[in-house]
Amino acid sequence: MHFLVAVVITLCLTAANAAYGQLQIEITKGIDNPTPIAIVPFGWGGAGSSPEDVARIIDSDLARSGQFAPVSRRDMLSYPTTAGEIFFRDWRAINSDYVLIGRADPLDGQRIGLDWELFDTTRQQQIAAGNVVGPASEVRMLAHKVADAVYQKLTGIPGAFATRLLYVSVTRNPSDKDFYRLTLADSDGARPIVLLESREPILAPSWSPDGNEVAYVSFETTRPAIYRQNLRTGAREQLTNFKGLNNSPVFSPDGNSMAMVLSKDGSPDIYLMNMASKRLTRLTQHYAIDTEPTWMPDGKSLLFTSDRGGRPQIYRYELKTGAITRVTFEGRYNARARVAQDGRNVALVHQQDGAYHIAVFDLVTERLTVLTATNLDESPSIAPNGSVVLYATKRGGKSILGAVAVDGGVSFNLPAREGDVQEPAWSPFMP
């Protein structure tokens, strides 16, 4: 049993259905001296009250990064919305290094504009300003874009708050039968949308490079099959349904191909599908298990997991020559690689002392750094700005999502309000 819920009709979802996939944020570790910043409540130029508390969303984003300590509204001595209303001595008195002010205005009944200004209280001057415009229904995403701009100005790293997450939420009905929901949410877990619900497992979700489509594995036909789905229209297409394994679909960086794992010709191997013609090309041919492909950002090679050396390790396949080289050597188990956009850092699952942790492997220095201390970590996915790794883990017998900075300095959890969550996939930057 399964049914499709198209994105275009998501407002019709029941509150109960959305609650199953709702994530909550639990910050577990930040840097030692986070930067104090005041995000003042935004002014509102329309009738009644603003549809969203824009400042609260920005405040939460920056706090979740672990690098900022937003000032409590209770401690603010005033609530300026224009530069002329700012008295820098008031903000220095409460030890705020920066002040963000802004205003939200309805533009034509269907769109909203956010104007914002960022001030340095020590230098007593504006250091950044901007404006974002979008549909009134997307105020939260507009707020995330402001947070991205502020984060980049103060850290030098592009923000990834205005991105989306894919994950699978799992709940049990009274007859103790699992329900699987492929869920789409904002990067903070808000606004969950159920894309697919099934009594059978849903696995390995991944994004197209433009963020308009997702691919995943569904067992709805009683065996694994690979599907692609358009997020704007809800249109869905089955790509494979061969006997044996059909798994690990990942779009190429140009979106023209998809790497996947098939066992239709014997042992599991990596195949490449042309998305226009659906023609398959077999890339690996080995009696060992070759699985979990992931693309290098330039599209010229793939990393994959193989036990052809006796234990699961990461290998690289060069598309031009077909050459295969082993990448990881440290430890007895390295698997499920995911490459950052810089093409240097690779998040993976690393076994150490019998436990499975999330680690980052530097392809240049060949240094492997373990990031997590929990024991059953899996399914890493790297943020599009390369700063954070999202992964699945266990806590108290439940599956939750965790996140950790690639330098290990910041971490937070995203448990579901109800049920379990697993198989996370972080979107690319969204237009």
- CA distances from residue 361 to 54, 67, 286, 315, 327 in whole angstroms, order as listed: 37, 23, 25, 13, 9
155, 172, 190 — which closes off a domain? Answer: 155
Whole domain around residue 123: which residue ranges?
A: 33-155
Q: What is the mean pLDDT of residues 136-153?
A: 97
pLDDT in tens, 234-250: 999 999 999 999 999 99
Question: Cβ of 170: how many Cβ atoms within 10 Å?
Answer: 20
Answer whether residue 431 is part of any domain: no
Query: Is the model more confident about 14 or about 428?
Result: 428
In a shared domain, residues 223 and 364:
yes
> Are 93 and 182 within one domain?
no
Residue 320 lies in a domain: yes
- Tell me the percentage of the chain whose pLDDT exceeds 90: 85
355 and 248 in one domain?
yes
Enumerate residues 6+ apart whose C-beta is below 8 A from 33: none
Contact 132, 114 (CB under 8 A): yes
Q: Which two tokens stand for residue 406?
A: 């690639």
Instruction: Check residue 32 and give its pLDDT.
Output: 87
28 inside domain: no
Do 127 and 15 fall into the same domain?
no
* One domain, residues 250 and 365: yes
Distance, in Å, from the CA atom of 165 to the CA atom of 143, rounded to the nearest integer, reads 17
Averaged pLDDT, 371-390: 95
55 beta partners = none
**In a shared domain, residues 122 and 184:** no
CA angle at 220 for the pair 214 and 221, rounded to the nearest 5°: 115
Residues 139 and 168 in one domain: no
Q: Specify the pTM.
A: 0.91
Q: Which of the listed residues 123, 155, 187 is the one where a domain comes to its end? A: 155
Single out the residue in 132, 155, 178 at which a domain terminates: 155
pLDDT at 108: 85
Note whether 382 and 256 are same-domain residues. Answer: yes
**pLDDT band (50, 70, 90) for residue 8:** very low
Average pLDDT, stretch 390-403?
94
The answer to whether residues 401 and 24 touch, using CB atoms and an 8 Å cutoff, is no
Comparing 4 with 363, which gets the higher pLDDT?
363
- Which residue would you say has higher pLDDT here, 339 or 22? 339
The CATH number linked to 70 is 3.40.50.10070
Residues 120-140 have a mean pLDDT of 97
Q: Does residue 139 share a domain with residue 223?
A: no
Residues 288 and 412 reside in one and the same domain: yes
pLDDT value of position 25: 87
Confidence of residue 417 (pLDDT cuts 50, 70, 90): confident
pLDDT band at 14 (very low <50, low <70, confident <90, very high): very low
Q: Which residues pair with 193 in a beta bridge?
A: 184
Higher local confidence (pLDDT), 375 or 428: 428
The least confident of 15-29, 116-130, 133-147 is 15-29
The answer as to whether 341 is a domain residue is yes
Number of domains making up the chain: 2
Q: What is the band of 20 on the pLDDT scale with cuts at 50, 70, 90? A: low
Domain harbouring 320, CATH code:
2.120.10.30
Say if residue 308 is in the same domain as residue 365: yes
CB burial class (10 A; 0-12, 13-18, 19+) of residue 431?
Answer: exposed
Same domain, yes or no: 92 and 170: no
